[in-house]
Structure 1
Amino acid sequence: MQKLLKLLVVMMIFVLGFTGFAANNIAEAKAGKKFTDKLVKCVDGDTAYFKKAGKSRFLYVDTPESTNKIEAYGKTASKYTCNKLKSAKKIQLQYDGTKKDKYGRTLVWVWVDGKLLQKLLVQKGYVKKFYDYGTYSYESELVKLQKKAQKDKVGLWSKKKESVTIATTNKTNFKNCTELRKYYPNGVPKSHKAYQAKMDRDKDGYACER
């Protein structure tokens, strides 16, 4: 009887251990395997072009606008993201479920030198909201960090709000990108009234982007 009980206990430990191991593996594997990629160009706080992934939208985070409609902390978030990507020795991307959004952009988690860029953006207070079209691997962690950023009053949540100075014009025909960027610092998409094909040198549907 004692031998039988011992055998049952060992089996239970094995089953529970295996279940826990499997659950952890499923959680870790959900987001997919990381792969190394190279930056082609940075667009704004949550969008960039990569060599393998193409035009990519960062999963789950939504930073303030910095192109057509410039919002507070939009330029700051854009500058922060671009600096991180350009200075990174190693960039890794990670898929998590659906690979493309309705605009054809690749959806990715972005890692710069081993750190999750979305996490860094949230901690800085540069994420105004989350777009929740599903359950993502790092969602709960980012939500907690967002609450902390709000509590600590950093970035968008600070008492000292960033002022936004926007040059306005009704002009649509600019001579060159230097002139256009005085009003649209990060360039314009093909749908914008100021877009000109001659300023879209790489023919990606975005003129004068930095």
Structure 2
Amino acid sequence: MIKRMKHMTNNGQRQGTTKWKGWSGFATIIALIVAALFMYFSLDEEPDIDRTGFIPVELVRTIDGDTIKIRYDGKEQNLRYLLIDTPELNHKQQGKQPFAEESAKRNDELLKSGKLEIEFDIGGREDKYGRLLAYVYIDGESVQQKLVEEGLARVAYIYPPNTKHLDPYKDAEKKAQQAGIGIWSIEDYVTNRGFNN
């Protein structure tokens, strides 16, 4: 009888071990499937954007292609985009410059398409007119860079140390110029001093 009980216990242990091995293999397969699915779906996602220093603000209105009015720090303030220049809607000598309306309209479209945030650089935060100087983002993407990419702005007003994003803007400008789009489609329109009619 004792031998028989021992045999049953051994059989029970063997059976339990076999059952455990079966469940262990099944769990491993499930874990591999879950890991594969996770990897597959994370490949489609954009990499996380470093939003350190980004400040959420509210758009009051779009003034032109490179200037907006925002609600920041409890009050309405004008903000001038760092490192870019767009044609003027009401230039003192030239009136409305070519692509001024297009840049203002595109700026407005971008600003109303998602979450608006700004980022200050390490230098002064205001220009001589009291306007804030900052980089502008919609859902983490640079509005300045988008305008330059689309040929609606030139890289300008480069005053160190406010040059954090100068290189990507310069690269975007070069591509737009080579493609001859927007402001680059008019010969000798863009100069290092601005825009010529």
TM over 0.5: yes
TM-score (normalised: structure 2)? 0.62
Structure-to-structure mapping, 1:79-94, within 5 angstroms: 79-88=105-114, 90-94=115-119
Counterpart residue number, 2:194:
none
Cα distance, 1:158 vs structure 2: 2.1
Equivalent position amino acid for 1:145 in 2: A
Q: Distance in 1 between matches of 2:173 and 2:148?
A: 6
TM-score (normalised: structure 1)? 0.58
| CA RMSD after TM alignment | 2.3
For the Cα contact (< 8 Å) 1:72–1:161, is it kept in 2? no
Cα distance, 1:57 vs structure 2: 0.2
Please say if 1:137 is aligned against 2:157: no
Cα distance, 1:36 vs structure 2: 0.5
Equivalent position amino acid for 1:94 in 2: E
Paired residue secondary structure (2:90): coil
Cα distance, 1:111 vs structure 2: 0.2
Counterpart residue number, 1:194:
none
Paired residue secondary structure (1:110): strand
Equivalent position amino acid for 1:66 in 2: L
Cα distance, 1:66 vs structure 2: 1.1
Q: Distance in 1 between matches of 2:187 and 2:63?
A: 26
Long gaps (5+) in structure 1: 1-28, 163-210
Q: Distance in 2 between matches of 1:159 and 1:35?
A: 37
Question: Structure 1: which 4+ aligned runs deviate by more than 4 Å?
Answer: 159-162
Q: Distance in 2 between matches of 1:142 and 1:107?
A: 16
Please say if 1:39 is aligned against 2:56: no
Please say if 1:148 is aligned against 2:175: yes
Please say if 1:72 is aligned against 2:92: no
Please say if 1:95 is aligned against 2:95: no
Q: Distance in 2 between matches of 1:35 and 1:118?
A: 16
Q: Distance in 2 between matches of 1:107 and 1:32?
A: 17
Counterpart residue number, 2:137:
111
Cα gap change, 1:113 to 1:49, in 2 (>3 Å): same
Percent of paired sites with the same residue: 31
Structure with the largest fraction of helix: 2
